[in-house]
Amino acid sequence: MTREEIINQVNSVLAEEFEVEDSNFAPDAIVKDALSLDSLSLVDLVAIIQYTYKITVPVSDLPKIKTFNDLYDYIEEHLQK
């Protein structure tokens, strides 16, 4: 998958799952704020990444994912492994 494909898919999947009307997230926007995530719905973010990309996100890695760019980076990096 190219980075652009990842960006499009991630934005589309997350917008649908978290019911956000506009899926054009700014790359430096904070994921938790843009998706209105609390401690419980953060678990859904982890689950969705797992279902969609077969990537397990350990809780210890969550602090690394603040912006959408961080999320794209994380997925890109782990997809390559």
Residues of this chain that interact with other proteins (CB under 8 A) are 18-19, 36, 38, 40-44, 46-47, 50-51, 56-57, 59
Nearer to other proteins, 6 or 15 (CB): 15
Q: Which of 39, 47, 29 is nearest to 11 (CA)?
A: 29
Nearer to other proteins, 30 or 42 (CB): 42
Q: Tell me, what DSSP letter sits at residue 62?
A: G
Cβ 34 to other proteins shortest distance, Å: 14
Cβ 36 to other proteins shortest distance, Å: 8
Q: Give CA 79 to chain center in angstroms.
A: 13
Cβ 77 to other proteins shortest distance, Å: 19
Side chain identity at residue 31, one-letter code: V
Neighbours of 66 (CB within 10 A): 15
